[in-house]
Amino acid sequence: MPNYDFDLLVIGAGSGGVRAARMAANKGVKVGIIEDRYWGGTCVNVGCVPKKLYSYASHFAEDFKDAAGYGWTLAEPEFDWVTLRDNQRQEILRLNGIYQRLLEGSGVERIDGRGKLVSAHEVQVGDKTYSAERLLIATGSWPYVPDFPGAEHCLTSNEVFNLPEFPKRFLVYGGGYIATEFASIFHGLGAETYQVYRGDKILRGFDEEVRGFVQDEMQQQGVNFYLGREILRIDKHLNALAVTLSDGRTLEVDAVLCATGRRGNVESLGLEQVGITPNSLGEISIDANFCTQVPSIYALGDVTGGPQLTPVALAEAMTLVHNLYSEEENRVMDYSNIATAVFCHPNIGTVGMSEEEAREQYRKIRVYTTSFKPMRNTLSGNPGKSLMKLVVDDASDRVLGCHVVGPDAGELVQGIAIALKAGLTKQDFDATVGIHPTSAEELVTLRSVTRN
């Protein structure tokens, strides 16, 4: 039997890679993990964590304004970008330290540098080569910037959290959830905000009613949408950027964030050396046990093209380690009814099927919806509304999808996700006594069918 340096060598120390390394090490496996930039991965450093912190920050302007209706007299609030930016940096450094201590405490060997595959069992890092019985690719994804004149002036989500100065005029290019979140965040922090997207409605892939509702709410708040348009070029003029759109219009802004998708982070990984060919999006094909076409090489997380969500990568890591290093029966990763949230303003929480997906797969469905002003907005005069929606299979009465738009929607839908995972019916929802007065009680008091 070959004498390898490691039993398992992980390339990429993001959520999935770190979880796999720690879980395997806890089972007595000799593990090494390689990372060249972000210990903790995208989520901790330039993704979910700083984004949520900035989302919190961007809500305060609205909160201060709403407070007047409740009797609070406040001085004119001032926002200081440097304080937010630097406090966020300190929190990320704290989390980096936690990740490093977790790895060290579990006995995983940390290797700093860019890993490159040189064979089915070997990875080169700098001038050293490490061998392992099994290799795991968990390198995540990377922001994609389209090729157009002046694209070099664009920011990506890698840089946007740590800008030296706050951009008073901010343009987001893209219509997905990352683009929409940042449009909301910078508008909430006080920037004149533009969102440019080639489609006619943001948030493609989400429930159509939710898409339209969120777009209308954001527009009412003051986000400027330029839909059905693309960026043709960006020219730098002194301290400003002139952005020319496909309709001939030019917008002058201080910063442009390109949020037009992500690609698998496989550059210089050496996949060609071992016969692995990623697709055009940089994604690596795997089987149900996360194995690539090379029997000793596995992959999981964003780089495989599945749902780009931290909890998914964590679940995949635990499934893989169980199957490789446990004598128990193999597990199969279940991707159904995965809940997710979008931290735009208003928030979105969603789990299960959209109305459109349900119509394609089921003979007859029932749809229950309600749109209302949350109780918190009554005295404040805030015009913002919430939307709640249930999609039900008419034959079995099983709830197929739940969609919430409004304050803390993600927090609410996490609980509903358990109900959908358990296969509960609309009758189960109806039999549940609500908590009054809350917005959430609407989900168990919906009685009238909106459409079927």
pLDDT 10s digits, 340-352: 999 999 999 999 9
CA distance 395 to 125: 57
Instruction: Decide if 241 contacts 252 (C-beta within 8 A).
Output: yes
- Mean pLDDT over residues 12-36, rounded? 97
Q: Give the pLDDT of residue 375.
A: 96
Query: pLDDT band for position 137 (50/70/90)?
Result: very high
Query: What's the mean pLDDT when you consider all of the chain?
Result: 97
CA distance 297 to 115: 14
Q: Give the pLDDT of residue 50.
A: 98
Q: Give the pLDDT of residue 67.
A: 97
Using only C-alpha atoms, the chain has a radius of gyration, in whole angstroms, of: 24
- Mean pLDDT over residues 248-274, rounded? 97
Q: Give the pLDDT of residue 355.
A: 98
The CATH number that applies at residue 297 is 3.50.50.60
pLDDT(442) > 90: yes
Q: Would residue 109 count as lying in a domain?
A: yes
Instruction: Decide if 34 contacts 10 (C-beta within 8 A).
Output: yes
Together in a domain, 13 and 135: yes
Q: What digits encode the pLDDT tens for the residues 277-289?
A: 999 999 999 999 9
pLDDT(248) > 80: yes
Look up the pTM and report it: 0.96
CA distance 142 to 214: 27
Four-CA torsion 322, 324, 329, 331, nearest 10 degrees: 60
345 has catalytic annotation: no
Q: Give the pLDDT of residue 1.
A: 62
Q: What digits encode the pLDDT tens for the residues 381-395?
A: 999 999 999 999 999
Query: Of 29-33, 74-78, 86-90, 439-443, where does mean pLDDT reach its minimum?
Result: 74-78
- Percent of residues, the chain, with pLDDT higher than 70: 100
Q: Which residue has the tokens 């390394």?
A: 21
CA-angle at 49, arms to 279 and 210, nearest 5°:
70
Domain holding 321, by residue range, is: 6-141+263-325
Query: pLDDT band for position 2 (50/70/90)?
Result: confident
Q: Would residue 272 count as lying in a domain?
A: yes
Which pair of tokens denotes residue 30? Answer: 């000799």
Instruction: Decide if 142 contacts 265 (C-beta within 8 A).
Output: yes
Together in a domain, 251 and 364: no
DSSP, residue by residue, 390-422: EEEETTT-BEEEEEEESTTHHHHHHHHHHHHHT
Which of 302, 325, 348 corresponds to the end of one domain?
325
Q: What digits encode the pLDDT tens for the residues 303-346?
A: 999 999 999 999 999 999 999 999 999 999 999 999 999 999 99
Q: Which of 11, 60, 16 is nearest to 315 (CA)?
A: 16
Which of 273, 290, 325 corresponds to the end of one domain?
325
Q: Would residue 450 count as lying in a domain?
A: no
| The amino acid at 67 | A
Q: Would residue 335 count as lying in a domain?
A: no
pLDDT(174) > 80: yes
Together in a domain, 44 and 111: yes
Q: What digits encode the pLDDT tens for the residues 192-215?
A: 999 999 999 999 999 999 999 999
Which of 260, 283, 309 corresponds to the end of one domain?
260
Together in a domain, 128 and 267: yes
